[in-house]
């Protein structure tokens, strides 16, 4: 298991002049940095790759799916924009040596509306087809797309591990797998352990987040259930703390961070890491 921190804890958008975040993540003792990718054109990718390497970190890339990055959308130009963004992110991931591109790649974050079953079915099909194509692109680059469930306020598409499993089975591509986040699971799942076991071997990425997006271990997520289930499925991937600066841009409304969650960002990350290392000895 590798313990990681998402750059969204400190900055948004991540850009060349925020490369100091990589040093911060390494200095705090993390093994992994998850780079939140809002706009690759403002990042010097070679400098980032060099910095990640120098600091001996493993990396992952986290998608930021704003409203015009929606693979399920009825408008083909919006779907194409999502594809373009995902392919660009896969290129970016391979250039920084990341093997995982994670997040809700099926749709836009914050798209949560009542829809007729026929509309839902059409959206589902478009997202399945889109991810089948993008799975090929990911595989060519040696990257896996880790598809994340979100809570009901951030998506009406995939809220539960059981829905994610059905989705992954329909996509049926080895480079399109599962990603769970305890923040969302805490809202949606009846049992955190059962949800993790349901995805089982298809779980390739994990966000360990407190119920308020504060430091893991300071709230009421049932961490022992998480620990036991990750152990039972033999999970050996990354365990990443994801929280957000109140200045988060691309997904500001969806993240809804209206107050600091700790004294400062470093405290949130350091406290969370200490807790997770004790909870999940490797």
Residues that bind ligand LER (CB under 6 A): 62, 103, 109, 148, 150, 154, 181, 207, 242, 251, 254-255
Q: Of Mn ion, ligand LER, none, which one sits near residue 109, judging by CB under 5 to 8 A according to partner kind? A: ligand LER
Nearer to ligand LER, 255 or 270 (CB): 255
Q: Which does 135 bind (CB under 5 to 8 A by kind): Mn ion, ligand LER, none?
A: none
Nearer to Mn ion (CB atom), residue 111 or residue 207: 207
Tell me how far the alpha carbon of residue 109 is from its chain's centroid.
12
Tell me how far, at minimum, the Cβ of 248 lies from ligand LER, in Å: 8
d(CA 22, CA 60): 12
Contacts to Mn ion from residues 229-248, by CB under 5 A: 242
- HSE, CB side, 13 Å, CA atoms: give it for residue 114: 0
Per CB under 5 A, the list member of 123, 154, 181, 202 interacting with Mn ion is: 181
Phi, psi at 147, each rounded to 5°? -90, 125
DSSP assignment letter at 111: B
Contact 94, 49 (CB under 8 A): no
How far apart, in whole angstroms, are the C-alpha atoms of residue 172 and residue 231? 25
Find, among 28, 95, 36, 91, the residue nearest to 55 by Cα: 28
Q: What does the alpha-carbon distance between residue 75 and residue 115 come to, in Å, rounded to a whole number?
A: 16
The option from Mn ion, ligand LER, none interacting with 237 (CB < 5 to 8 A, set by class) reads none
Q: By C-beta, is 22 or 255 nearer to ligand LER? A: 255
Of 105 and 134, nearer to ligand LER (C-beta) is 105
**Contacted entry of ligand LER, Mn ion, none for residue 251, CB cut-off 5 to 8 Å set by kind:** ligand LER
Cβ-based neighbour number of residue 63 at 10 Å: 26
Comparing CB distances to Mn ion, the nearer of 242 and 250 is 242
Residue ranges that bind Mn ion, judged by CB under 5 A: 181, 207, 242
């Amino acid at each position: 298991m590798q313990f990681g921190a998402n750059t969204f804890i400190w900055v948004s958008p991540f850009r060349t002049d925020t490369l100091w975040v990589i040093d911060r993540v390494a200095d705090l003792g993390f093994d992994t940095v998850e780079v939140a990718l809002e706009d690759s054109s403002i990042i010097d990718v070679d400098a980032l790759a060099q910095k990640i390497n120098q600091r001996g970190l493993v990396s992952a890339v986290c998608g930021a799916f704003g409203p015009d990055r929606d693979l399920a959308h009825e408008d083909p130009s919006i779907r194409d924009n999502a594809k373009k963004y995902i392919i660009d992110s896969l290129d970016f991931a391979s250039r920084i040596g990341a093997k995982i591109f994670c997040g809700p790649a099926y749709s836009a974050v914050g798209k949560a509306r009542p829809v007729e079953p026929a509309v839902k079915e059409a959206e589902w099909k478009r997202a399945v087809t889109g991810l089948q194509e993008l799975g090929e692109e990911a595989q060519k680059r040696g990257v896996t797309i880790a598809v994340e469930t979100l809570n009901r306020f951030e998506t009406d598409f995939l809220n539960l591990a059981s829905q994610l499993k059905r989705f992954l089975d329909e996509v049926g591509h080895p480079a399109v797998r599962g990603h769970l986040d305890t923040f969302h699971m805490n809202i949606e799942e009846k049992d955190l352990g059962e949800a993790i076991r349901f995805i089982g071997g298809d779980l390739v990425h994990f966000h360990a987040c407190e119920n308020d997006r504060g430091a893991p271990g300071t709230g009421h997520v049932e961490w022992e259930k998480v620990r036991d289930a990750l152990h039972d499925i033999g999970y050996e991937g990354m365990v990443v703390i994801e929280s957000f600066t109140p200045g988060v841009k691309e997904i500001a409304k969806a993240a809804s961070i209206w107050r600091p969650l700790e004294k400062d960002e470093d405290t949130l990350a350091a406290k969370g890491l200490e807790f997770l290392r004790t909870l999940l000895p490797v």
